[in-house]
Chains A and B, each alone.
Chain A
């Protein structure tokens, strides 16, 4: 219906032009990723030799898994993959619970101060993370933590170089609370009342009535939490030093600085990109509508 910008005078020719343009754009947006995947299987000499022809984008010639093997020999890549998986999974799972509970309390319960709390949470959305990232580094370096050594609990100071410093600051998320809040408002309140007649408590209503109906909101929040957690770079760059705790994006940057071959860099890059791309293609409608929902709020 809306080929608006394209006009109606010569629809046939325009339709053809649009088609050509769209196809060229496919190549434009996909070529670096295709190049990365293809090159990850080639030795460096061939990567550079193939650059002058279409072969740069085809897995031809001396193709092998050598680069992947090389990555694991050079750095504990499996450890960094595991770190990122654990950090992302915990952030997503706990984030869903914590933010949906807060949204439930804010949208479906009547308690003193909830309007102030809601307004304050919404207001935090205008402050970019970069504003307080550096004071936050200073601050987490002062925070205490309880550590269990055998049967002895010890109080330690400073969260630098830990897992919790990569997870806890990102659990509560104003935008996730807002998304849940909006979604919960669309679920009829009569359901809560009926459940209460049956003797259900507030927490039971949250867990057994509202959450089971909120699949789309959970999916949106999961996607919008997972991507930044998996891709996080600025924060772990500053707060994580040791290799055992390093997530993949900081890992690949350090790997790059080792002056390894381009083929190995492409192999590392493919390993940390392909899982996300597979998830994206499998759930692309959910991904795209989640990210579009970020735009509807305006």
Chain B
């Protein structure tokens, strides 16, 4: 393959690990060659489909590149960013994305923990509950968004239930076309879909807590709440950080639900940063501008996960 490795023998400091039976120069050389060859398919693919596009994201953001154009991209300096920061759709996208993340992250993490505590018992049938709660996680977000579109229809399942239980005193609303309810409706569905995933992660964390701690607490006569705040919660520090960061990144990447359910409407109340990037970069073919949006998204992800990592570390 195309990666060439210097054929000199490895310096002893670079080759720790157990002593090998065959230590000759040729054997070492062979090991280097075979190792590089075995790693090269993955490395080449990662270079072509990860490294290059990431570098392109930085490069193209400063050009007027278009998706399909006979002319090569031209350098335009910070023009894309200047346009972006003056674009009201961008600010709406940023606001909606933040709104979604600020609500979904704590709600989903909290509910997932409640679910994990509910199924973390040795009672028969626990496995059944766990499996059912997990079904939405393995179901495609596109299918789920279509199902919930039906639930949220003006004459859909939700409004029919509302009309039945209120004896027609409240007709419900057109959930996805009402500017105030569209985003909350998508939030609710999103939490419903993903909460089972984080339940499993909390469970994995819960199961690492030694049973002796709980026995000791029971002997001391600690209440359920005390046991939770003094044993369970402090023991879940690493899990907590991981869950916060994964939910946040998923929330900031919100796209599929928007694409299937609202297309950013009504009144741009559900457009998001990634949705805007796809709109500009794919539908309007302005790759350069979309690269600028993507870069802002990346900075956002790095900032938020950096801050979360910092905060959760301090807490200890």
Contact = CB atoms under 8 A, between A and B. Distances in A.
B264 interface: no
Contact of B118 (A22, A121, A196, A284): A22
Given A5-B228, A114-B35, A273 B143 contact: yes
Interface residues of B, dominant DSSP: helix
Contact of B144 (A4, A32, A102): A32
Interface string A3-20: 111111100000000100
A137 B67 contact: yes
Nearest to A53: B164
B129 A288 contact: no
Nearest to A255: B146
A178 B133 CA distance: 28
B42 A101 contact: yes
Contact-size category for A: 35 or more
Interface string B234-248: 000011011101100
A60 interface: no
Interface stretch (A63-71, A212-220, A231-239): A231-239
Nearest to A265: B146
Nearest to B115: A25
A99 B40 CA distance: 10
Contact of A109 (B31, B67, B148, B200): B31
Contacts of A109: 31, 34-35, 38
A291 B200 contact: yes
Contacts of B277: 130, 133-134
Nearest to B291: A135
A112 interface: yes
A151 interface: no
A4 B67 contact: no
A130 B297 contact: yes
Interface in A11-63: 18, 21-22, 25-26, 28-30, 32-33, 35-36, 48, 51-52, 56
A29 B58 CA distance: 42
Nearest to B11: A112
A288 B142 contact: no
Given A132-B53, A234-B278, A189 B146 contact: no
Contact of B157 (A56, A99, A288): A56
Contact of A231 (B39, B115, B142, B238): B142
A150 interface: no
Contact of A269 (B54, B143, B218, B274): B143
Interface string B119-144: 11110000101111111111111111
B138 A32 contact: no
B86 interface: no
B313 to A, nearest CB: 13
B22 interface: yes
Contacts of A1: 121-122, 211, 214
B170 interface: no
B56 interface: yes
A114 to B, nearest CB: 7
A134 B117 contact: no
A170 B241 CA distance: 27
Nearest to A48: B155
B141 A141 contact: no
A110 B34 CA distance: 10
Interface string A124-164: 10111011111111110101000000000000000000000
Contacts of A172: 41-46, 49-50
Contacts of A36: 143, 147
B271 to A, nearest CB: 15
Given A4-B232, A137-B287, A253 B121 contact: no
Contacts of B146: 252-253, 256, 265, 269
A169 interface: yes
A187 interface: no
Interface string A271-286: 0110011001100100
Interface stretch (B74-82, B98-106, B253-261): B253-261
Interface string A172-209: 10100100000000000100010011000111001000
* Top 8 A-B residue pairs of the complex, sorted by shortest distance between their CB atoms: A7-B224, A298-B242, A295-B201, A172-B45, A102-B42, A111-B35, A134-B281, A135-B56
28 contacts: A4-B227, A4-B228, A6-B117, A25-B118, A28-B192, A32-B148, A102-B39, A109-B35, A112-B32, A114-B39, A117-B39, A127-B54, A128-B301, A130-B294, A133-B277, A134-B277, A134-B281, A134-B282, A193-B21, A202-B30, A202-B34, A206-B38, A233-B141, A237-B278, A277-B135, A292-B203, A295-B239, A298-B242
